Every structure is written in C-alpha cells, then in structure tokens.
A and B are shown apart, each in its own frame.
Chain A
Amino acid sequence: MISTPSRTVVDELALRHLDAAYNLGRWLLGSEQDAADAVHDAYLRAARACDTYAGGNARAWWLAIVRNCCLARLAVRSKDTRNVAIDGDPAAAERWLPHTGADDIEERLDSSRRTQQIDVQLQRLPVVYREVLILREIEELSYREIADVLETPMGTVMSRLARGRALLQKALTEDGTTGAPHGL
C-alpha cells in the first residue's frame, strides 16, 4: 500500500471533521443518504485535489469541498423535483405537508415539539441563510472561516448571517404565538 504524506493528511482531516461535514450535508440536503454520499464525494475530491489547497484554514478548506458537493446534489435534485426523498424523520415529512399556525396547540411547550419547530423553520430557510447559521451557531466557525467555506467576502458572511438570524427569529416568533396575525 502506498501512502503519501498528503493522503494521510486528507484522511485525518476528513475523519476528524466528519461530524461537521455530515451535519452540514444533512442540513443542506435534508436526507441522511444524500448527506453521506455528498461527504463521500467530498472525501474523494479532497484526496484528489490537494493542489487546490492554497494555505489557510484546513477545516474551512475541507468544509468548502463538502459544501460544493452538497450544492451540486441540490442542483441535480431541483432539476427533478418529483424525486424528493421523504425519509423516516417526521420533521422532513412535515416540510411537505400544509402548514398552519394552529398545529398541536397543547404540545407547544413540549420540548420535543420545540426542537421540531427549530428544525422545521431552519429547513424552511433558503440555503444561503441556513448554511451560514449552521456554520456560525452550531459549528462555531469564525467569520473568516465561514468566508473561506463559502468562498465569499467577509461582508457577505455578515449580511447573510444578519438576514438569516432575523428571518429565523421572525419565523419562530410567528410559529410560537398561536393565532398571531401573519404578515407583520
């Protein structure tokens, strides 16, 4: 077996940040199988594309590849929207059901319900806002790292983060207040 130093580094990098990669993929694609496949694609691409690494933050470089693989899958999927995978998880199924602000009023304070609300509302956000919230709030990347993952200027990161937070806050507020008038 031949093992080059470069290969070892990519292997360790991918395995060390496998949870972060899978979590990002899972939130971008909404399906376990697609997320796993996208991460696998990303690993193969990373192992081949050593020369695209131009210094800087290794985790950001790896997550940038993962994100690109996810977006490629999303693009394919949107061409063929009839094949939407509804996996076994109720949050995913709920996305495709008509939504009213009056579901399960008695369960509103139930924490599992609250968790589901966050999941649903986060899934509803456009991808550009969802990904930046996941990277900042859940993976705790700095602005600079997020800018590297998204391959955008830091100013773009800041504006998307602000917009994403505002949208999610608004969605959760509307979701949490029963019978609140919409369209504020």
Chain B
Amino acid sequence: MDCKTASDLLPLYFDGELDRATSREFEAHLDECASCQAALIELDALRQSLRHEAARYKAPQALRTRIERAAAAPVAARALQNRVRWLALAASWVLAFVAGGFTLEAWNHGSASVSEESQLTRDLFASHWRALAAAAPIDVVSTDQHTVKPWFAGRIAVSPTVRDYADQGYALIGGRIDYVGSERVPVLVYRHGKHLIDVFVLPPAVVPAGTAPVRQQGYVLERASMGGQAVAMVSDMDETELTRFRDLVDASSRGE
C-alpha cells in the first residue's frame, strides 16, 4: 500500500470503518511510515481532547421531567397500520441496546445459539458496510470466475467455487478476503443494477442455523448454497430482489 492510499484510508481506519483485511494492510504500511503514524497520533489527540475536555452536556432534570410529563399525556389512538411498523421499531430498538448500537431485526427465534448467530450476523453486516465505506470494496477486480478463483487459492486456505450469473442480471465483479469472527473467508462481489451484493463463503464451522432473511438498517442478509458451499449474502437490494438471487444460486447448485 502506498502512502497516498494509506492517507486516504487513515480516517476510515481511525474510525473503525475499514474491513479487517484492509486494516491489516494499512497497519503494515503504518509500521513503516512515520508521517502516517504522526497523522494518526494527531487524530487521536484531537479525539481525546474532545472526549475529555469538551463538555458533554447532560440533559437537565427539568427537561427530563417535561418530556416525561408530555409522555404521560393521553394521545389519540393511531391507525393500526402504524402499529405494525412501530412494533418492528420496538423490536429493533430493544435489540439495538442488546447489540450495542446495532439495530438487529433478526426474527430467527428458537435457534440454540442465538447469541453466536447474531454475532455472526453482525460480523457479516459490519464487513459489508466497511467494504462499502472503503475506497474499493474489492481486492481483485475481475468479471472472470477463472481469474477470481485462483486469486483466492493463492491467499487463503479455501478456494471457493466461483460462479457468474451475468446472464441472469447478477454480474460477478470481483472478490476480496474478509473476516467472520477470526476466520478469513472469501467474499465474492456481484453487481445488480446499482447494488452490490457481497457473498460470503462460510467455513463449515460457522454455518448459520437460521434460514429466514435478516434485515438491518435497510440491508438484507440471506443464506444460500453455492456449488455445495454454504454462503451468506448481504446487500441493500430489496428483499424480493435478493431472494430472487438466492433462489437462482440455490437452483444452479442443485442442477449440478
């Protein structure tokens, strides 16, 4: 990684918005670059100043009382359609604090390892978002599955089955390596219209139990099987679109 790229990525790294693979590369550059180190130290000094020296004003008790009083006042009952929407908000809100700031609308109850499951889900969403925030969500840019597959083989223990669905409107555009928990996994990146789809090839150890789609902040996660391997897909496409892609992938796997 050259210094120009590193200095572009520096704030993203500092704010915890880079995927882990890119973070590692950045750290490798950081070890050797005094000016990037200095810039990072400066950003951190500013943050410490703001956190410890700038005032974080607490809401006065009078305001709290005002809001509590307003909350206790009766309101006209709302239309039923709003209730459904708000129940979803309620669920996401409750989970937001469980998940430490993530709104996780996971409806996969009854799974024996819900916490592990939601940890996995969070990792997958976080990887997808970081990749979107990074300069490029792709380490190897190629629309050719015969290029993408060997690229992984040189860098990671597993060489995933790579398929292209360009004819059906979901074009392979490349791949990257990302982390799920502490495992390095291959991620295949597809494009559909303006949307990117990340397909995480999951190691056997972390195959999720649930099958229902999970929604979070306008993104959807689906699971499928691609060429006999378990995969998780994350995208900001709407659910029906992503489900269509999932069914397509599942069907092509069965056709083998």
Give chain A's interface residues, CB within 8 Å of chain B: 1-9, 11-16, 18-19, 21-23, 26-27, 32, 35-36, 39-40, 43-44, 47, 50-51, 53, 55-59, 111, 114-115, 118-119, 122, 133, 136-138, 142-145, 148, 154, 158, 161-162, 165, 168-169, 172
Contacts and interface: CB of A to CB of B under 8 A. Distances in A.
Contacts of A18: 59, 63-64, 67
Given A12-B93, A51-B85, A55-B218, A118 B53 contact: yes
A143 B92 CA distance: 19
Which secondary structure dominates where chain B touches chain A?
helix
A-B pairs, top 9 by smallest CB distance, nearest first, are A6-B86, A22-B59, A11-B71, A26-B57, A137-B50, A18-B59, A36-B63, A58-B93, A115-B53
Nearest to B92: A58
Interface string B104-125: 0100000000000000000000
B215 A55 contact: yes
A43 B82 contact: no
18 contacts: A2-B75, A6-B85, A9-B86, A13-B93, A14-B67, A15-B68, A18-B67, A50-B82, A55-B92, A56-B217, A58-B92, A58-B93, A115-B53, A119-B54, A137-B46, A137-B47, A143-B17, A144-B217
Given A9-B93, A143-B15, 13 more contacts: A2-B76, A4-B78, A9-B90, A11-B67, A18-B63, A23-B59, A50-B78, A50-B86, A56-B217, A115-B55, A122-B50, A136-B15, A137-B51
Contacts of A5: 83, 86-87, 90
Contacts of B103: 56-58
Interface residue tally on B, bucketed by range: 35 or more
Interface string B37-73: 0000011001101110111111110111011101110
A154 B103 CA distance: 18
Contact of B46 (A23, A26, A168): A168
A47 to B, nearest CB: 7
Interface string B87-105: 1111011001100010101
A117 B57 CA distance: 16
Contacts of B16: 142
Contact of A6 (B12, B74, B83, B105): B83
Given A13-B93, A137-B47, A21 B59 contact: yes
A12 B90 CA distance: 10
A133 to B, nearest CB: 7
Contacts of A57: 96, 103, 217
A144 B60 CA distance: 29
A116 B53 CA distance: 8
A22 B11 CA distance: 27
Nearest to A25: B57
Contact of A36 (B66, B89, B215): B66
B195 to A, nearest CB: 15
Contacts of A136: 15
A23 B56 contact: yes
B129 interface: yes
Nearest to A53: B89
A89 B64 CA distance: 21
A22 B58 contact: yes
Contacts of A122: 50, 54
B209 interface: no
B77 interface: yes
